[in-house]
Amino acid sequence: MRYRRAWWLGGLLLVVFGCTPAGGTAPAAPSGSGSQAAAPSGAASTPASQAAPPSALRKVPIALSALSATMTPIWVGMENGIFARYGLELEATQLSPAAASQALSAGSVPLGVTGGSSISAWLSGASDRVFIAGLIDKALFKVLTNTPAVQRMEDLRGRSVATTTPGSGGTLALYVALRRFGLEPNRDVEMIYLRDQPSVLSAMLTGTAAGGNTPPPFSEQGLAEGARLLVDMRDLNVHVAVNHITTNRGVIERDREMLRSFLMGYIDGIQFARDNPDKAIDAIMHGTRQDQRKDAEEAYNLNRDVWDPWLTEEGIQVVLDNSDQPQARTARAADMIDLSILRELEASGWIAQHLRQ
């Protein structure tokens, strides 16, 4: 298991990914419930005991665009040998949403977990970009404040709110939330864009920003340190493409079996995380570099039932509706989705065997 965290892109990022071996061949697609790759329905709930030998694993770099419990199915799959069942060793690098999107555009990674930043890239001409599975389509962010004069969302008028990259799913969810309270982003409220969620939390707690848009477990950490809740986006039922499994159409054509193997490990990771809360919470603590188990537990409870490989056009459409890019007015959400591999797994009966609530 390898975690990398980097918030720069540039030449060094290209070297890191460009030197990653591409060797190995992914396992063949499942041919039905009797396929060798298709484990019994409870297999996703136990660590992989039939993982391929290390020498046979194919190293696959993946860019993760969020430092939050959203990524638990990926982290838990890496920590518990689940991807190894399907012949893969993921090399995850933590990047800002913009940098993750750029890595996909440059071909430095074949896979990413991105949301709004990839939609923005698609609108800017990266028409090869495509979502092949969902992860989370509902905003779980909380807007917090540590500024005494701010007691409700409307008090943010004329003040600032910290969030991550412009165009990211979290930032666009914040736009939706602000507009629900009659506040126009970048007009009524100054947006402070920071590189990652820990920076957003710090800006809010120190008063650099009057508000902070934070996902779990950082929202729970902020509340524990004395911040006050202005709005929980779950109460607003904001559906937005926060983070989904992302690749380029060229990768689907060239390396479809690798993507199939990844999706199988990813889906097993969702079920494993649901069935093994302690190990999922451990993965959240490791992935977010948090040492407060209570915060990680809360983050797990918030995310557990919203991980979903079936993404919706609705979540993408919300991003398009809140985008200031002219191309968004005529763009079709369906053009950014290719669920063909997922549909094949569904038709074979594999998903029904491996994914339960």
Provide the CA 43 distance to its chain's centre, in angstroms: 24
Contacts of 354 (CB under 8 A, 6+ apart): 38, 39, 41, 43, 44, 264, 267, 268, 271
Helices and strands (H and E) in the chain: how many: 15, 11
Per-residue pLDDT of the chain (357 residues; tens, 9 = 90+): 555 544 334 333 433 344 443 333 333 334 333 333 333 334 444 444 444 455 689 999 999 998 889 999 999 999 999 999 999 999 999 998 889 999 999 999 999 999 989 999 999 999 999 999 999 988 999 999 999 999 999 999 999 999 988 878 889 899 999 999 999 999 999 999 998 889 999 999 999 999 999 998 899 999 999 999 999 999 998 888 989 999 999 999 999 999 999 999 999 999 999 999 999 999 999 999 888 999 999 999 999 999 999 998 999 998 898 888 999 999 999 999 999 999 999 999 999 999 986
Q: For the segment 266-316, what is each residue's pLDDT rounded down to a tens digit?
A: 999 999 999 999 999 999 999 998 889 999 999 999 999 999 999 989 999
CB 116 within 8 A of CB 284: no
The residues facing 58 across adjacent strands are: 88
β-strands 228-232, 142-145 pairing: antiparallel
Which domains does the chain carry? 2-137+240-354 (3.40.190.10), 142-237 (3.40.190.10)
pLDDT in tens, 324-350: 899 999 999 999 999 999 999 999 999
Query: Is 171:114 a contact under the CB 8 Å cutoff?
Result: no
Q: Phi and psi of 331, rounded to 5°?
A: -70, 150
CA dihedral 7, 167, 15, 22 (to 10 degrees): 120
**Cβ atoms of 192 and 161 closer than 8 Å:** yes
Which residues lie across from 134 on neighbouring strands? 244
Spell out the residues 6+ positions from residue 160 whose beta carbon is closer than 8 angstroms to its own: 189, 190, 191, 192, 209, 210, 211
